[in-house]
Amino acid sequence: MTASKDKTLLRALAGETQAVPPVWLMRQAGRYLPEYRATRAKAGDFLSLCYNPELAAEVTLQPIRRYGFDAAILFADILLLPQALGADLWFVTGEGPRLSTLTDAAGLRALKGRDDIHETLAPIYETVGILARELPRETTLIGFAGAPWTVATYMIAGRGTKDQGPAHALKDTDRATFAALIDLLTEATVEYLSKQVEAGAEVVKLFDSWAGSLKGQDFDDFCLEPAKRIIAALKARHPGLPVIAFPREAGERYVGFARATGADCVALDNSVEAGWAAEKVQVDGCVQGNLDPKLMVTGGEALARETRRIRDAFSKGPHIFNLGHGITPDADPENVHVMLQALRG
């Protein structure tokens, strides 16, 4: 896959240093935008929005129209994959996702296989196809999935947890069952992302939102190794496909992560300092990040100043400007303009 001269994000992923880095925001299609809230109301509920290709494409396109970001990321959710594998999934207003819990080997055996997910996920692939046709030619289309560890934490607990305690407990008391779940999720994630690429995604991103709670050998076994397997399989099927990996809150384990996994870019959360990351992580290739999302709420000169500082810290190598985590519902849409003006000058 040749990096198009019109697509600055692909150029960064190919290793090019640019005076003005490409920019997009995690959760850029979301509740901080009034047009998103209107479209979600039309869909009826969050899952209905995810599975409605026309409306999911519309909310993906909304921030591109408003801000002219260099990339659009597919509107979906990381928990659609476990639903496709047979888990029950629903969303509680004001509280977030809920799933049926997987607590033992019997629960694992009850799940579907990796090749049985596509009927449920067909609307997601249709959304990708719509976006591939409708996005501006200079805008890169990013597909995504949750990394196996992060998805497993939700499947085991039945919800998000602060410390991922239930997943750690199963890992520590029945490592064989836990490892088998990670294997299934690894294989299913390859199939899911591969179908997104076939439908038109130009880049894929692997979100390991809870990677930071894995330590030592557990980090190697359940964060690094699955990412390595997924990336290798995808690149074997789709030569030249760029992959962004986001092992959030990995800290020192960001160092060498790209080399160890084959990722073309490592996304950084805002707990690491940009100067440190430029010296320790960017030496291996493209990095993405890492503005504090809280600044999108407070705005002002502090937002502009920090945007310029991060841009300058990463200016000697390939960089994709982004937040250290997703933009929050209480962010001011006007602050995105402040950030873009500071970034692009």
Q: Of 37, 66, 77, 218, which one is the catalytic site residue?
A: 77
The answer to whether residues 299 and 338 touch, using CB atoms and an 8 Å cutoff, is: yes
Which residue is listed with tokens 């160890």?
260
Query: 37 an active-site residue?
Result: no
The answer to whether residues 192 and 185 touch, using CB atoms and an 8 Å cutoff, is: no
Distance CA 40, CA 285 (A): 38
Q: What is the 3-class SS of 171-209, one letter each residue?
A: HHHCHHHHHHHHHHHHHHHHHHHHHHHHHCCCEEEEEEC
The answer to whether residues 345 and 315 touch, using CB atoms and an 8 Å cutoff, is: no
Query: 77 an active-site residue?
Result: yes
Q: Of 32, 51, 125, 154, which one is the catalytic site residue?
A: 154
Query: 159 an active-site residue?
Result: no
Q: Of 11, 27, 114, 253, which one is the catalytic site residue?
A: 27
Strand partners, 98: 90
Q: Which two tokens stand for residue 178?
A: 């836990």
Distance CA 179, CA 221 (A): 9
Query: 137 an active-site residue?
Result: no
Which residue is listed with tokens 């990095």?
287
Distance CA 48, CA 88 (A): 15
Query: 31 an active-site residue?
Result: yes
Characterize 234-265 residue by residue with b for buried, 16 or more Cβ atoms within 10 angstroms of its Cβ, and e for exposed. Answer: beeebeebbbbbbbbbbeebbbebbebbbbbb
DSSP H helical ranges for the chain: 8-13, 34-43, 46-50, 53-67, 80-84, 105-109, 118-134, 148-157, 165-173, 175-199, 216-219, 225-237, 257-261, 274-280, 295-298, 300-313, 333-344
The catalytic site residues sit at 27, 31, 40, 77, 154
